[in-house]
Amino acid sequence: MHGRCGFTCGLFGFSLLILLMPTMGAANEAGKKLAQQGGEGVQACSSCHGAQGGGNAAAGWPRLAGLNADYMAQQLTAMADGTRSNPIMAPIASALSEQQRGDVAEYFASLKPPTMAPGGEVDQKTLHRGETLAQRGDWQQGIPACTSCHGLQGQGVGVAFPSIAGQPAMYLQNQIKAWQSGSRHNDPNGLMASVAKRLSDEDSQAVTAWFASLPAKPSNNDQ
Amino acid sequence: MTAKDSKHPLRGIRSPLLPAVLALFVLSVNAQVDETLTEQVELEPAPEAGAEGYHQPPSLDDIPEGPFGDSVRSGWEAFVNTRQHPKAKRFVGNKQNCGNCHLAGGLAANSAPMWGAWGIYPKYRGKNDHVNTMDERIRGCFTYSMNANSSEAGGPPEPDSQVLKDLQTFFFWSAQGAPIGKNLPGRGYAAVPEPQNGSSVSRGEEVYQNQCSICHGSDGSGKFADDGRQIFPPLWGAGAYNWGAGMHRINTAAAFIKYNMPLGKASPVEKEAVLTDQQAWDVAAYINSHERPQDPRWEGNKASTDEKWHTHQCLYNETVRGHTLGDGAG
């Protein structure tokens, strides 16, 4: 009985794999092509985000490799509809169809994040303040630990809480500013906007420097 | 098996486990006469903070080196990650950590801080007619909020055991400089008066789906990292606090929620809230209108358990969405 089930199940699984392979491949191929060569009205993602999606720390462009696919697809939609205002990305995101956003997000999600931390020049005292904020928060200011939502190592939790470990400090700081000003307001339930508004410039600099000092961690599965 | 038997917490246990079940049963019978299992009394609300504000606990960076500091650190670690702490995890029978109901690792005012609790024990309680110690109080937390009877150990930590010593050393350390025997501002949760028209489970469901489900899940099951570490606690079901925990009371849950949730929007130390009193009561009612592990003081049926132990604001043995609550979960 066991053997027969094994054979049947195996056969079923194999057939399923054969059936799914072309679609999976197609999505990744289409996403890969967009990422590396661009498309109509769309420049290649890799020209700014790096050939392997590792980002560009000096320019403040984010790492995409290994981020949650659904999160990235949602961000492209938000940049197209203006809930995440970004002058560089808006025309690109608007030129992509929903299918293309999904394809390109899936492609970057499948890439391994860089093993090196983006880092940056920062003194030990600032890093220590950043670590304290990230892991314990500052409750006098109403700031919970970043890791309580983004995961213990900042690796991200599901689609709502992106990976922030190993993101360039400048990128993270720009996002905090965008929430403070309201130019980015696509966060679920306004959670991040609320926290960002409680962060001082010094604390924002410290906590982003600390996350940039970490290498990216493998993303967390939802549940 | 009668309908009543089927509601017993020991239901569904297979016969090869009978000796273990009997041992557990004996333990739980013993536990029932143990004072850790008596009803929690409502404490007097804490006074408002004056010009000096709240007690300031020392920084975790300043925990001293040496055996005392090691005990403080171990206690703090057991507090924030109880489920995975080597000395504490045996006593956790659900998926909760102490720090889920006491934010900032038990250090934030209006989030039931440990520095607020430390100085009000030992305390005489008429209810059980003896002087209750902090050791005993923590065992009560394990029994109800951590559902210890379903844990590997089968009950709360033994009195004066190492994990209780470490937790108390951490509490003591956090309370240094605070007066003893005083109801300190910021102790417990800041009470939220019951709205005139009470609370509504159905309105609460809407609040929950809008404000809470992103973290706790629309089914209340919480979220966990790949290594099993809890990120957001379950609020009902087998992983949640049981029917005897303080948080199953609507007034207590509303008081916690109002100034602590959603995380990052409310601010307990600044006593800022985004939910109205009505929303806090409604969502507290919705959360507590779901099954959770059985009350360890189970009296054999829901009606008797309700009559003896649930004469407060809760939904135990109440019928919600066509179901009479109190069957237990797990």
**Where does the pLDDT of residue B13 fall: very low under 50, low under 70, confident under 90, or very high at 90 and above?**
very low
Contact A144 B107 (CB under 8 A): no
Q: Which helix (H) or strand (E) holds A80?
A: helix A69-81
Correct CATH for A124-212 of 2.120.10.80, 3.30.70.260, 2.40.10.10, 1.10.760.10: 1.10.760.10
Find the CB nearest B60 among A136, A192, A195: A136
Contact A140 B269 (CB under 8 A): yes
Q: In angstroms, what CA-CA distances link B72 with B22, B58, B62, B164, B317? A: 37, 12, 11, 11, 41
Q: In angstroms, what CA-CA distances link B146 with A103, A112, A138, B296? A: 44, 39, 27, 11
Correct CATH for B189-330 of 3.20.20.20, 1.10.760.10, 2.60.120.10, 3.40.50.720: 1.10.760.10
Q: Letter for the amino acid at B320?
A: V
Please write the tens of the pLDDT for every residue from B34-64: 444 445 556 788 999 988 899 999 999 999 9
Q: Does A127 touch chain B (CB under 8 A)?
A: no
Q: Letter for the amino acid at B30?
A: N
Chain A contact set for B272 (CB, 8 A): 142
How far apart CA A131 and CA B123 sit, in angstroms, is 39
Please write the tens of the pLDDT for every residue from B219-268: 999 999 888 899 999 999 999 999 999 999 999 999 999 999 999 999 99
Q: Is the pLDDT of residue B126 over 90?
A: no
Task: List the domain boundaries for chain B.
Answer: 66-186, 189-330
- The answer for residues whose C-beta is within 8 angstroms of residue A169's C-beta and 6 or more apart is A57, A118, A120, A122, A205, A208, A209, A211, A212
Contact B72, B169 (CB under 8 A): yes
Q: Does B269 touch chain A (CB under 8 A)?
A: yes
Q: Does A195 touch chain B (CB under 8 A)?
A: yes
Q: Is the pLDDT of residue B316 over 80?
A: yes
B66-186, what's its fold?
Cytochrome Bc1 Complex; Chain D, domain 2 (1.10.760)
User: Residue A199: closest CA among chain B residues belongs to which residue?
Assistant: B264
In three-state secondary structure terms, A220 is strand
- Residues 135..164 of A with a Cβ closer than 8 Å to B: which? 136-137, 139-144, 148-149, 151-152, 155, 157-158, 160
Please write the tens of the pLDDT for every residue from A114-163: 999 999 899 999 999 999 999 999 999 999 999 999 999 999 999 999 99
Of residues A21 and B289, more confidently modeled: B289
CATH topology agreement for domains B66-186 and B189-330: yes
pLDDT of residue B28: 42
**Where does the pLDDT of residue B90 fall: very low under 50, low under 70, confident under 90, or very high at 90 and above?**
very high
Contact B214 A195 (CB under 8 A): no
Please write the tens of the pLDDT for every residue from A29-86: 999 999 999 998 899 999 999 999 999 999 999 999 999 999 999 999 999 999 999 9
**Where does the pLDDT of residue B94 fall: very low under 50, low under 70, confident under 90, or very high at 90 and above?**
very high
Give the mean model confidence (pLDDT) for residues A197-210: 98
Give the mean model confidence (pLDDT) for residues B135-156: 97
Mean pLDDT, rounded, of chain B? 89
pLDDT of residue B260: 98
pLDDT of residue A83: 98
Contact B226 A139 (CB under 8 A): no
Give pTM, 2 decimals: 0.87
pLDDT of residue A2: 46
Lowest mean pLDDT of A125-129, B4-8, B142-146, B148-152, name the range. B4-8
pLDDT of residue B35: 42
Q: Letter for the amino acid at B179?
A: P
Q: Does B272 touch chain A (CB under 8 A)?
A: yes
Chain B contact set for A137 (CB, 8 A): 104
Q: How far apart are the first and last CA of chain B?
A: 19
Chain A contact set for B268 (CB, 8 A): 139
Question: How far A146 CA sits from the closest chain B CA (Å)?
Answer: 9
Q: What is the ipTM of this complex?
A: 0.86
In three-state secondary structure terms, B307 is helix
